[in-house]
A and B are shown apart, each in its own frame.
Chain A
């Protein structure tokens, strides 16, 4: 029997999405280029990141081949599992650097808050899809509870960065599902007053951990704490600012190579990129992100059912949250909260989560016709 290679190839790629695949590949190349420079030309790091990428691509392919109907079946159990693991962390998690985020499960240890980044929007999208015919205010209240319980547990770890990401992903679902404009307006006002609140030290430390408040205070005046948190921001802005319009060129960033930038392969990799590629590079990177977000929102608009619409919209906008919060914190307009630059920061966990999001987007898009027919 002759093996039809063409047939196999077609089967392999049939659920993948061309534009997302191309954009993702460009982004991953940016990752490797910046990482090579940030790690002082360490091939070990590059190889490690390539391994991460192969895992990520596999995860993406698998997700793309699972139909949204099947995904809906997974949603509640996955959410429940994530929630139980989060409680496990709160009760018996490992404390690393003063935060309780990790949980031992037999051979390895995991960070259950990471699961919630996908499980939460899936759960909420599933819930609204079920209630689609008779959506009432009550449903938004229930959805809010579904959202707040895990977010509160993550905040308590404490992990402000992840709490923001999970909270934002859930909020996007509520917003797209038709949350009243008045509530949205109210939340915006609450957000503004919240910023006022956290920027006033005495009020802040009553609710949050010392260091979370200090980060906000530091954002406003980095020189208040130049040996601690301010150091990150100061060195980050110096790197970006000294990059100028065209940048200092690849592998030529002085801030980077003289060891001034902390965590320069992970959360602060954008400082390396901005120093070496300048304003032009930054704008190209922003356009790349915009294109990905745009494609995600397009997939959302074309999706066949409410589950797909909401989930795709939330994933696309989460991608925006990552990019905006990370670049905002590195350039000193947002506090340093520990959010990676999507698909560019070194590290496997965030990369796999984001690729899973890509896979889900692809699945929603490629299965839309089967669902309609």
Chain B
């Protein structure tokens, strides 16, 4: 190593370095001296104290789990509560022959094959040394019988535990969700959030719906008890305790009676319904049919029920309101009309002639009504649901304006509702198409795409929740709330209620005159148009729009419902808010493969509105109305 000669004094340099080393040595000695002092303090001066702690008592600190918060509907009806019951529990690690033990137990307590299967499933999912329930809800007699024979069953115990119960059964299962035993994935999540300390002693966690999304509120804070244990690790004496803090209660904005009416109105049909209170954003009802019984999940679902739910072609575990995406069909038209007015592309009185089709290049876009609707202005385009009017509008408005306008109404956007798993859907735009397709020639946005989009077909794909949110925003004149199922969180200690989303998050700047034109046309739908048959004699003015979404492209052939396979039939839509002048409820109904919106979806909406606005109870599933077109 050849370097320019070091000019500085080498010896001096070395001395300075060694001084530094000396300082370091002093620091090391002082620090180690500190450790020695600490050891002397612990091992000599405090030795007796720690000796007692370690030797005589064998202190254990046992977690005391908190009581989970309750869930109520907006009128105080209980949707989820806890009850105390005796369970018969086995700790597999303490039992030598499980089958023999269970056989022995079944002579004292009734153990069904379902119980056995469920237990085996639990055993596979849990740690070996966990205490797992073989039978829940023991009768007093069974408890007494087992207690007398307890000595025969080491590793088997009776415990009093709190159980979750959903008194409404299937009603509202999709927003309520359920709790289930904590599995490895849940454990990872708990660890990631650094909440392990709070889940010591807790077996269950929210798995779906508000039980999942409000887990933190509902769970509470785990307390602990410092106990003295004897040689066999049984608690002998409690030294001190810190009481757990119960979880907070939830008060939902849902009206469970309304929810029942809505679910009943569906009958055996598949679909979704979302009802929102426009002036608060609170969800009044959220239906996804079919549903399931959340009580099945609480103690660990048995494999057979799980298989039935999981493999049913009707997919009852799927929350269609948030996770199903569908083209909106003609329910898109009122928003298109409003966009046309706002962007000054149409005036309310401009009329166009509809010959029954629209030609773009070589392609002929057909209207539903053969021969066309004749002269149509904006009002009539909504009332009679004229496709040709919107085909013509497509080019004038352009896809960029459509995408920009619809985005504000949450089309193709997550609405931010307080349940997990919401789908985004597709709000078609140039950027979306460029990203969606790989091949260059498919990436280009075509005018024909805009024409399809303008009547709610084509690439459009939205959740019922999104359309309901758009309807609520329209009803509320552009004032936008984040939709929410939970209205208040009620503190379990102070009983204080905290509102969840009390303030609007945005206001879309819309002209009042334009809103009035569209709203009047929507009211016209139910007096003179496609919804007139269904809403005859309603004691309120409802502003609605029917829609029918194509599932299957018939390539020009005429659609005949009875000749089309059930799962390829059109989806029926209906969007509505009422009363017209001061909307109390905004509502969207989707009936999967239901056919025409006016026929299948609108009658359900009518029943719900009748109940909510006029206090009429429904008894029968909504009858399909005999209507021709959409």
Stretch among B43-51, B267-275, B609-617 lining the A interface: B43-51
CA distance A350 to B79 in the complex (A): 54
A-B contact number at CB 8 A: 130
Beta-carbon contacts of B51-63 to A below 8 Å, as 1s and 0s? 1011100100101
Q: A133-B6, A239-B54 are in contact. Are A244 and B24 (CB under 8 A)?
A: no
B18 to chain A, nearest CB (A): 6
CA distance A301 to B200 in the complex (A): 53
Is A208 on the interface with B (CB-CB < 8 A)? Answer: no
Question: Chain B residues with Cβ under 8 A from A199's Cβ?
Answer: none
A286 close to chain B: CB less than 8 A: yes
**B61→A240 contact, CB < 8 A:** no
B35 engages A324 (CB within 8 Å)? yes
B25 within 8 A of A: yes
- Extra A-B contacts (4), CB below 8 Å, given A227-B197, A327-B35: A69-B1, A211-B194, A227-B222, A240-B39
B162 CB–A CB distance under 8 Å: no
A153 within 8 A of B: no
**Does residue A77 face the partner (Cβ distance < 8 Å to B)?**
no
Q: Quick check: A227 and B43 within 8 Å, CB to CB?
A: no
- A309 to B47, alpha carbons, bound, how many Å? 43
| B430 on interface, CB distance cutoff 8 Å | no
Alpha-carbon distance between A227 and B38 when the two chains are bound, in angstroms: 24
Q: Is A255 an interface residue (CB 8 A)?
A: yes
Q: Confirm or deny: B7 has a beta carbon within 8 angstroms of a beta carbon on chain A.
A: yes
| Interface residue B214 (Cβ < 8 Å from any Cβ of A) | no
Of the A-B pairs whose beta carbons lie under 8 Å apart in the complex, a sample of 30, sorted by A's number, is A69-B1, A98-B194, A133-B4, A133-B6, A176-B21, A178-B17, A225-B197, A226-B226, A227-B224, A238-B53, A239-B54, A241-B49, A241-B50, A241-B51, A241-B54, A242-B50, A242-B55, A244-B51, A245-B44, A254-B54, A258-B58, A274-B43, A279-B43, A282-B39, A286-B36, A289-B32, A301-B18, A317-B24, A327-B35, A331-B42
Check: B28 CB closer than 8 A to any chain A CB: yes
How far, in Å, is A323 (CB) from chain B's closest CB? 8
CA distance A49 to B6 in the complex (A): 48
The residues in A between 267 and 319 inclusive whose CB is less than 8 angstroms from any CB of B are 274, 278-279, 282-283, 286, 289-290, 293-294, 297, 300-301, 305, 309, 313, 317
Given contacts A98-B194, A133-B6, A279-B44, contact A227 B200 (CB under 8 A): yes
B5 shortest CB reach to chain A, Å: 8
Residue A320 CB within 8 A of the other chain? yes
Query: B568 interface residue, CB < 8 Å from A?
Result: no
Main secondary structure of the interface of A (DSSP, over half): helix
Complex contacts, B1 vs chain A, CB 8 Å: 69, 305
Contacts of B224 in A (CB 8 A): 226-227
Complex interface: chain A residues within 8 A of B38 (CB): 328, 331-333
- Tell me which of A132, A240, A297 contacts B24 (CB under 8 A): A297
| Given A97-B192, A172-B24, A211-B194, A244 and B47 contact (CB-CB distance below 8 Å) | yes
Contact, CB under 8 Å: B43 / A278: yes
The residues of A with any CB-CB pair to B shorter than 8 Å are 69, 95, 97-98, 132-133, 172, 175-176, 178, 210-211, 225-228, 231, 237-245, 254-255, 258, 274, 278-279, 282-283, 286, 289-290, 293-294, 297, 300-301, 305, 309, 313, 317, 320, 324, 327-328, 331-333
Query: Which of B31, B58, B196 is the most central at the interface, judged by chain A CB atoms within 10 Å of its CB?
Result: B31
Any A CB within 8 A of the CB of B40: yes
Question: Which of B20, B25, B193, B194 contacts A175, CB < 8 Å?
Answer: B20
CA distance A178 to B20 in the complex (A): 8
The answer to whether A279 and B6 touch (CB under 8 A), given A226-B226, A241-B50, A258-B58, is no
Q: Which residues of B contact A309 (CB under 8 A)?
A: 17
Which residues in B have their C-beta under 8 angstroms from that of A290?
Answer: 28-29, 32
Residues from 66 to 88 in B contacting A, C-beta threshold 8 Å: none
**Which 3 pairs across A and B sit closest by C-beta, in order of nearness?**
A241-B50, A242-B54, A228-B197
In the complex, chain B residues 547-571 whose Cβ is within 8 Å of any chain A Cβ? none
A225 to B221, CA, bound (A): 12
Which residues of B (329-364) have their CB < 8 Å from a CB of A? none
Q: How far does the alpha carbon of A324 sit from the alpha carbon of B33 in the complex, in Å?
A: 10
Bound-state Cα–Cα, A69 to B3, Å: 13
Chain B nearest Cβ from A337, distance in angstroms:
15
Q: Which residue of B lies closest to A228 (CB)?
A: B197
User: How many angstroms from the CA of A215 to the CA of B3 in the assembled complex?
Assistant: 50
Assess whether B191 is interfacial by the CB under 8 Å rule. Answer: yes
Which residues of chain A have C-beta atoms less than 8 A from B191's C-beta? 97-98
Whether B502 is near chain A, meaning CB under 8 Å from some CB there, is no
CB distance from B243 to the nearest CB of A (A): 14
Q: Knowing A175-B24, A241-B50 touch, does A98 contact B193 (C-beta < 8 A)?
A: yes
Least Cβ–Cβ distance between B3 and chain A, in angstroms: 7
Instruction: Report B-chain residues with C-beta under 8 Å of the C-beta of A331.
Output: 35, 38-39, 42
Instruction: List residues of chain A with CB within 8 A of the CB of B32.
Output: 286, 289-290, 324
- Residues of A near B43 (CB, < 8 A) are 240-241, 243-245, 274, 278-279, 282
Contact of B28 among A178, A301, A317 (CB under 8 A): A317
For residue B504, CB closer than 8 A to chain A, the reply is no
The size class of the interface chain B forms with chain A is 35 or more
Interface check B34, CB cutoff 8 A: yes
CA A321 to CA B216, docked complex, whole Å = 39
| B16 close to chain A: CB less than 8 A | yes
Contact B61 A226 (CB under 8 A): yes
Please state if A228 and B39 are interface contacts (CB–CB under 8 Å).
Answer: no
* Contacting residues, chain A, for B6 (C-beta < 8 A): 132-133
Other-chain contact of A297, B21, B35, B36 (Cβ < 8 Å): B21
Smallest CB separation, B191 vs chain A (Å): 6
In whole angstroms, what is the CA distance A277 to B355 when docked? Answer: 99
Give the nearest-CB partner of B51 in chain A. A242
- Contact status A328-B61, CB under 8 Å: no
Contact A238 B50 (CB under 8 A): yes
| Residue interface mask B187-213, A partner, CB < 8 A = 1 | 000011110110010000000000000
Residues of A within 8 A of B192 (CB): 95, 97-98
Q: Report how far A172 CA is from B20 CA in the complex, Å.
A: 10
Among B24, B36, B46, B61: residue with most chain A CB under 10 A: B24
Chain A residues in 8 Å Cβ range of B55: 242, 254
Contact partner of B31 (CB less than 8 A), chosen from A226, A237, A244, A324, is A324
Give complex CA distance A172, B21 in Å: 10
Q: Are A241 and B197 in contact (CB under 8 A)?
A: no
Instruction: Determine how close the nearest CB of chain A comes to the CB of B328; give it in whole angstroms.
Output: 39
Cβ-closest chain A residue relative to B5: A133
A293 to B38, CA, bound (A): 21
Task: Please state if B196 and A228 are interface contacts (CB–CB under 8 Å).
Answer: yes
With both beta carbons as reference points, the residue of chain B lying nearest to A234 in the complex is identified as: B61
Closest to A236 in B: B42
Shortest Cβ gap from B234 to chain A (Å) = 14
Alpha-carbon distance between A210 and B197 when the two chains are bound, in angstroms: 14
Chain A minimum-CB-distance residue to B25:
A297
Distance, CA A300 to CA B3, complexed state (A):
21
Pick from A238, A241, A300 the residue with the most CB of B within 10 Å: A241
Given the complex of chains A and B, what is the CA–CA distance between A126 and B549 in angstroms?
Answer: 71
In the complex, the answer to whether A313 meets B53 with C-beta atoms within 8 Å is no
What residues of chain A lie closer than 8 Å to B7, measured between beta carbons? 133
Residues of chain B with a CB closer than 8 A to A258's CB: 58
User: Which residue on A lies nearest to B223, using beta carbons?
Assistant: A227
Tell me the minimal C-beta distance from B223 to chain A in angstroms: 9
Give the nearest-CB partner of A290 in chain B. Answer: B32
- Chain B min CB distance to A246 (Å): 9
Least CB distance from A211 to B in Å reads 5
A279 and B58 within 8 A (CB): no
List the A side residues contacting B17 at CB < 8 Å.
Answer: 176, 178, 301, 309
Q: State in angstroms the CA–CA spacing of A283 and B8 once bound together.
A: 43
The distance in angstroms between the C-alpha atoms of A242 and B191, with both chains bound, is 32
In the complex, chain B residues whose CB is within 8 Å of the CB of A231: 61
User: Given the complex, which residues of A lie within 8 Å of B34, measured CB to CB?
Assistant: 328, 333
Q: Which residues of A contact B194 (CB under 8 A)?
A: 98, 210-211
Among candidates B4, B36, B50, B63, residue contacting A283 with C-beta atoms closer than 8 Å = B36
**Bound Cα distance from A1 to B58, whole angstroms:** 69
Instruction: Give the distance in Å from the alpha carbon of A18 to the alpha carbon of B49 in the complex.
Output: 44
